[in-house]
A and B are shown apart, each in its own frame.
Chain A
Amino acid sequence: MPRSAGILFLAATLAASAARAQEPDTPGDAAPRLTLRGFSDVSFAAREEDGPATFALGQFDTFMTSALSDDVSVLAEIVFEFGEDNAAVLDVERAQIRWAPADVFTLTAGRMHTPLGYWNQTFHHGSWLQTTAERPLMYRFEDDGGILPVHMVGVQAAGAWNARRATLKYSAAVVNGRGHIPDEIANVRDASDAKAVSLWLGVAPAGTGLEVGLSAYLDTLPAFADHGDVRERIFGAYVVFAHDGLELLGELSRVRHRADGDTFDAWGGYAQAGLKRGRWTPYYRFDRVEVAAGDPFLEAGELSVHTLGLRFELLSWAALKGEYHREQPAGADGVHSARVQAAFTF
């Protein structure tokens, strides 16, 4: 979308939100109340062998929700981001309508975050929400070399069943499949008749702060020039513990592509630990992604990254994060980099 159209859109959204802030918040005949939040960040980053140190604007995320009735709500997330050419682009990251007649069953249609594990649904574009400045390698966006389909367009049934000793959460979705390249998200036109299926299951024992889960994403990618259809099977698992300031996150995904009798595996995973004490949170994360040579869809390679960081809560809704990274590509020297980021929500 052209930048001027984006600015007009944002101005109209802000004006509508301000006008509706005066309206009563009780349902009924009154127009739905729009809740607008924003997330963004500003960084200063330096990286060996990668041009000059630079200030950088993060994503400018406008996040909207509105209850149309007790059971029906809408959610939209519009993100302005900046490319390597410094130009702004506008992306509709989420646009969904949700019917939630019960805790155990909700039905959502639209563009959503794919339930692949924990991070993707929990933080995603909201950089202030996540402890770290940067997202895990395995969850890089589709247009940033990511290996996973972090967005999906389709229909999702989900819910949570609260038993005495644990909460069981699930999601099952039928969505448009991935396109000819990872960055091609089928918003309005699927590349084939075959639809992808996404399944996710999580268990959280009551009062422990622990959650574990599994996911599966089954798709058939459209035929490529030098391959027939490619069968894609993504399986993931996660373990999360968050209690009393201690945050432990671990996720692992395997992406398997089968084409013309050959099998290609890609793996992505991370382990992160942070301990919040007062306004300070020191943290560490290890990331690794590897994609087999010859994969028909993903770019082959191996990369490990160690991240050591410190987060400081400046205000209730603003945080300062400082990170050091050591990247280790396969067969090459390690690369050092650092980032200082002010992340905020408003």
Chain B
Amino acid sequence: MEAATVARPRRRGSGLSERRLAAAMVSPSLIVIALVAAYPIGYAIWLSLHEYSVRVPGLSRWAALKNYDTALSSSEFWEALRNTFLFTGISVTIELVLGIAFALAMHQAFKGRAVLRATVLVPWAVLTFGSGLLWRSIFEPDLGFANSMLSALGLPGGDIVWLGTEGYAMAVMIFADVWKTAPFMALLLLAGLQVIPDDVYDAAKVDGASAWQRFMSITLPLLKPAILVALLFRTLDALRVFDLPFALTQGANGTNTLSLHAYQELTANRLVGLGSALSVLTFLIVMVVSFMYIRFVGGNIRGLADER
């Protein structure tokens, strides 16, 4: 164990054996993390620095940063990046607002609450690819449910080719994502709501705070850690969105995303190097976003803890 050897020269008193023990106990999990996380990452980076022939079996060559150059100089990458961020920004915002609303509703004591909490998760339990295909047939022009209903109700939009028009296609994708994951968001936030002690609210009520004031000054601040976790999960998930555009449009009409683009190059076109470079770029983008979250929003958690 490397950690243990490093610790040896500073042998002093009984604190040390404790430290060694800690290192020894942590090391198995570190090894596991290294195996399941570091190895594939390293391997992907290695692949991304090579070119693998699609003609001659087994032929490969060192490509340095050529794959990255190809990836970054293609307009498709930048389009996919823009689409991915647009999708993430809008869908996660809507999911957060709806999620808080659902969570507050489910937090109230009423009859059948347990049933509601379970049923609200149904969309989350549906396979995304399956629900994607379902939405695809719902938004099918002419024969789809969406257009038929809009026409029957005399509303505008009955003649829109939803998935065939840029903008609308993205809207459908966001809609399908919100439908699926707002309940999940709600459940995460509900868990956060349940740890806020009731007496804080009682005290506020005694002081004459209105419902809105109680929400803004008690619920929201105390819910922040849960919100952060929920936001982080959803954002990272949304940045890697693959199944929805794959099922809905195959990336047509302004819905191509980073993951779908990488998949296309890696699997369909068998460009292992370029596909890996795209995956590494996606990974870096996801990393940067998550660091920003933890740096800016996460700081608040610690701040909150100190205040208390």
Do A and B associate with each other? no
